[in-house]
Amino acid sequence: MPSLILASSSPYRRALLARLGLDFACHSPDIDEAPLPGETGDALALRLARQKAAAVATQYQAGLVIGSDQVCVNGDHLLGKPGTLERARAQLLAAAGKRVSFYTGLCVHDIASGQSRALVEPFHVHFRPLTPAQIDRYLAKEPALDCAGAFRCEGLGISLFERMDGRDPNSLVGLPLIALVELLAEFRVDVP
């Protein structure tokens, strides 16, 4: 089996990939993640996943590089990681009572052959109507400042939702494992 390299410094992606029971290394890519003018959320996620995989591939002689990136879209606004409580509160207030879409780009790049397979996994979250007090209580208990959308669905953030729509809830955390298993199989990596 070829060696696997996760092109990410995200502890969330690392923990998700570890669930597959595969040996892998992590290497943080150094790319500009700014959207291009007029770029949609799904196009941005796919471009960044490909760029992350390609950037890390230059650092190795062989192996499969896994690149992934997630973009959160509320209406026509691309949302990044809030970074501050004020921005987290604003993101959650804007999402209250709405459907917010998450697009996770995924790319598996074979260094030896130069071949890549890539896709975008969509996932939609329907937020409950939320009061400012509910949002403040949530942020006091779980300030998800490093998560696009300002919540952690694997934690208390699940209480903010009416429902979720998508094939793989792991994509909401940042690495769609169902799609990853499918892409790895194309490179003859069988899981389990």
Residues with catalytic function = 69
- Block residue for tokens 């996994």: 121
45 class by beta-carbon count within 10 Å (0-12 exposed, 13-18 middle, 19+ buried): buried
Task: List for the chain the helix, strand, coil content (%; round to 5).
Answer: 35, 25, 40
Spatial distance between the Cα atoms of 170 and 176, rounded to a whole number of angstroms: 5
Q: Which residues contact 128 (CB under 8 A, 6 or more apart)?
A: 96, 97, 160, 161, 162
